[in-house]
Structure 1
């Protein structure tokens, strides 16, 4: 009996066709997944940094560099030009105020001083001669006044006597009129003599005052010239240490040349460079801290220089409290300047992730620690250690803070 042959459902051609279709579909799915950024990447845990989001006290600050300078510096400029003849001290010497540093010579200035002194002495001699002549003239006028006064008295006596005799008829009218005219004449002479003596006194006083003023002005000019010659000896303006002395014997120095400086050793300040981005947030009274020999010290801004050079501006900070032991001029300090008050905030440690994400997202580790996936976040202020988390994370969450440069566009990390 014939056995019916059962027809196969799938031929080899059909099976091959199905497998080909599945391969194409798999390839399409792989490409779609790759281009859509939904890929996964295996990452070794020891090669990344995982930190926990914490709730803690936060203060916004910026790291800056400062250099230690003397609390006060007085610059030494040549008040007069000349040739360096003698150096009394060397660079680095400790000086007292007024102590000589170096001596210049200037023959033109010294000759001018001699001429000025001669002028003063000549003027003084002339003034003395004028005063003596005026005094003699006054004596002569006073003698003349005395004679006129005596003549007036005698004329009055004669007139009064003749007046009585004329009334009695003892003398004639001619004698009476003669004595009367002489009396009136002497009175007029007396009036003129008094006027001349008064004017002479005023004139003498005016001449004396003018002579004194002229002498005083000349004397002031002489003192100024002496001071200019005295300035050829450069002296310490204050107690302190001489630094940056730039002068050698025989060198010609022009007026106004910077010769060096004297630093006050009673204290120090710190000159700090800050990026111009923060210029609107820096003001007097703000504080900063730095560590030296495992101890924290406090600084306070006392002066802000608003001039911006090469994108940076400067501030001067003073020490608050104890001065660090052994600190020296020119020493560099790493300072944290506070820009805000302390507050409670969610904090994420700073790391390389920010360069890739700009603070817009971060890889958050799953609860079981086996994977990490992207989450959107928003960051606020920052300091040298942390970013402030505004939204997207909670306290206790764990995130990857190391660099994301090797992750590409991966959406999820498989942590091994």
Structure 2
């Protein structure tokens, strides 16, 4: 048996325990899981940013900058404080009825005068000449009227004289007729003569009738004319009296008694017609003038009570007059004293008055503040119970005075409200209160 030589082949290596171990590859996250995780982290970051980032409807404010008050249950005193000014109860203004040049000044400003007292004298040459011309004109017209009246009187007397003469002639004619009538019947008087006598008698009778009718007509016309003439004369006399009165207006007199103020004219000064020269204030009688917010226009009525405190005493007053014209958000009222006036008050002095609007009553109260002006009382910022924020809330308000405002709806006792100014966050619905 022959042996065939073979190529040298490497002998198989001996198997060891190490040769039996198998390398296992580590498996990572799948791409899908990585994408999902990334999205989840992005959403979480966005959520955290949204949560901690300031919102457009909120604002962070330092708590120490704000005034925070608590809503309380108490008694609401319905009054309104007023700043009132002392003025005379009655003031009469002095105006120059006729213009002119100041010739004399007989009193000084601040003096006490009596009614009719002469204060100053003016001169006006044009007015004096005009008055003289008016006097001359009136005198001429009155003379003409008297001449006409005298002529009418003469006409009346002439008519009466004619009637008397006609009556006399009629009496004579009747007597002649009565004398000749029986003689003519017996033939002792010619028929022609008796007929003439009869005709004359009839004529005189008719003539008397006509004259009486004419006299009655003239009397009626003359009476009407005389009435008109007398009325014209009276009118002319009145016009003359007015002219004299205008001339007398150059002497300035006090129309009432009182204290003369704002009287600052000088000798030689020219005054225009209607120019204000001063005023007279009623002595010892004063009133208070006060401005009231237009919000209370419907709640203030004449006769309403008011009080002032002066010298440790309280004096009662009442609303005497209301001026409903609103100017700069206020209307004016006059307050008169019910009690005797306090002594020592000076014109122009300012006093604190209290206008009573209603009786005290229980109510929910919130201190007044700048917030009311900013919101108009429509809403407030209510502080959270934990004090970390404040939420905007609508409210309904009632009466208000200088200290408190009545809460009708929207707030409960114990809740806290920001009562300082809302300037800077009027458009916010939430405030985050930052504390030290």
Question: TM-score per shorter chain, which class?
Answer: 0.7 to 0.9
Aligned to 1:304: 322
Equivalent residue for 2:276, pick from 249, 258, 277: 258
Kept in 2, the 8 Å contact 1:365–1:399? The answer is no
CA distance in 2, matches of 1:338, 1:240: 33
Unaligned runs of 5+ in 1: 1-24
RMSD of aligned residue pairs (Cα, Å) = 3.9
Matched, 1:380 2:400: no
1:111-138 Cα offsets, whole Å, 9 max, x none, are 2222222334334444444444444444
Looking at structure 1, the residues matched to 103 and 83 of structure 2 have their Cα atoms a distance apart, in angstroms, of 42
Residue number in structure 2 paired with 1:223: 241
Q: 1:353 to 1:278 in 2, by over 3 A?
A: closer
**Distance in 1, Cα, partners of 2:257 & 2:414:** 60
Match of 1:177 among 186, 192, 195: 195
Aligned residues: 382
| SS of equivalent to 2:233 | helix
Q: 1:296 to 1:364 in 2, by over 3 A?
A: farther
Decide whether the 8 Å contact of 2:61 with 2:431 is kept in 1. no
Question: 1:226 offset after TM fit, Å?
Answer: 0.8
Which of these residues, 294, 298, 301, is aligned with residue 312 of structure 2? Answer: 294
Cα deviation, residue 223, structure 1: 0.6
Distance 1:317 1:346 in 2: 31
**Offset, 1:306:** 1.8
Paired residue for 1:244? 262
Query: Which residue of 2 is the match for residue 14 of structure 1?
Result: none
* Separation in structure 1 between the aligned mates of residue 162 and residue 360 of structure 2, nearest angstrom: 98
The offset of 1:150, in angstroms, is 2.1
Name the counterpart of 2:344.
326
Provide the C-alpha distance between the structure 2 equivalents of 1:203 and 1:380, rounded to a whole number of angstroms.
Answer: 82
Check conservation: 1:374, 1:412, Cα contact below 8 A.
Answer: no
Residue in 2 that maps onto 1:8: none
Give the SS at the match of 1:281: coil
Distance 1:129 1:35 in 2: 108
Written as runs of structure 1 = structure 2, the 5 A alignment for 1:25-40 is 32=51, 35=54
Supply the distance in 2 between the matched residues of 1:136 and 1:352 (Cα, whole angstroms).
94
Query: Take 2:81 and 2:191, find their aligned partners in 1: how far apart are those partners?
Result: 121
The 2-side partners of 1:296 and 1:198 are apart by 82
C-alpha distance after superposition, 1:86-121 (max 9, x if no partner): 111111111111112211111121122222223343
1:387-415 CA distance string (max 9 Å, x none): 3344677667888977899xx9445869x
SS in 2 for 1:144: helix
The whole-number CA distance in structure 1 between the counterparts of 2:328 and 2:422 is 32
1:275 to 293, 297, 319: 293
1:360 is displaced (CA, Å) by 2.5
Residue of structure 1 aligned with 2:118, choices 100, 120, 143:
100
Residues of 2 paired with 1:151 and 1:208: CA distance? 32
Q: Distance between the aligned counterparts of 1:148 and 1:123, measured in 2?
A: 38
Task: Show the 5 A alignment for 1:198-237.
Answer: 198-237=216-255
**Greater C-alpha Rg:** 2
User: What is the TM-score normalised by the length of structure 2?
Assistant: 0.73
**Aligned to 1:114, what secondary structure does the other structure show?**
helix
| Alpha-carbon offset, residue 161 of structure 1 | 1.9
Structural mapping, 1:137-156, within 5 Å: 137-156=155-174
Once the 2 structures are TM-superposed, how far is the Cα of residue 154 of structure 1 from its aligned partner? 1.7
Asked if 1:360 corresponds to 2:380, the answer is yes
Question: Take 1:41 and 1:30, find their aligned partners in 2: how far apart are those partners?
Answer: 22
